[in-house]
Structure 1
């Protein structure tokens, strides 16, 4: 499997990925990702070079967004001074679930962060999705705090405020990395 940068023509596939994940999450009993994600915001992150896709032959197996920009109102001023990369929208296709791709993608992100000079790999997860939180904890993340106050970027109430982080570091993820070298952060 190979990892590459998403391109604007991948927008429809990534939106479909999000819908597939939302349907799966709904079947699990969570309201995570039930609001449609704005296509223009996703396209902007693709064009910024922050969206990556795992390809298995011609199939897209997973995606992750990795950005140096934190969502407003989640991390403290002191934390934001520390060189970090932030994970968003980690999604694995149901056709590829159960193969450890999410963990490998987290390792790839930690390795990329390390090469970019980041100290931390950080994320915010759905506050009511205990299964997702346990998943991140099982992959070396440490819960920092849960932020429930404030309004999310999309104007709705804050629902994704379970904050976690793990140190970046070299990792053997097993992907053929076709992405450009990361830009230095911090």
Structure 2
């Protein structure tokens, strides 16, 4: 499988991925991703070069967003002073479930973050999705805290404030990486 940067024409596929994941999560009793994600915000993250697609031939098997910017209101100033990259919107197509592609995408993100000079890869997960939180802990993340106060970037109440981190490190994720070399992180002032 090959990992590449997402392109503007991937917006509809990414929105469909999110809808598929939301429907699956609803079936498990979770309200995660129940609000539609704005296509214009998704396009902006693609154009910023932070969205990546895992492709299996002509089929998209998964996606992950990896950015040097943290969502406002989640991490302390001290934490933001540490070189870190932030994982968002990790999604694997249901037809590829059970192959640990999500775990390998996390490894890929940790490797990319390491090459960018990050010490940590960090994420925020849905506060009520205990299975997802367990998944991240099983993949080497350490729980930091849960932030419930404040408003999410999209204007709704904060629902994704379970914070965790893992050391960024080189890994053999097994994907053919066709992404450009990551930009080096700037040091906090």
Tell me the distance in 2 between the aligned counterparts of 1:155 and 1:110.
29
Match of 1:44 in 2: 44
Q: In the alignment, which residue of structure 2 is the partner of 1:171?
A: 171
**Where does the alignment leave 5 or more consecutive residues of structure 1 unmatched?**
none
TM-score by length of 1: 0.99
Q: Which residue of 2 aligns with 1:105?
A: 105
TM-score (norm 2): 0.98
Gaps of 5+ in 2: none
- Cα drift, residue 95 of structure 1: 0.7
The aligned counterpart of 1:34 is 34
1:111 counterpart SS class: helix
**Cross-structure match for 2:89:** 89
Aligned-partner SS, 2:34: coil
Q: Which runs of 4+ in 1 moved over 2 A?
A: none
**Is structure 2 residue 146 aligned with structure 1 residue 146?**
yes
Alpha-carbon shift at residue 88 of structure 1 (Å): 0.3
Instruction: Give RMSD over aligned pairs.
Output: 0.4
Distance 2:49 2:156 in 1: 26
Q: Note the C-alpha offset of 1:22.
A: 0.4
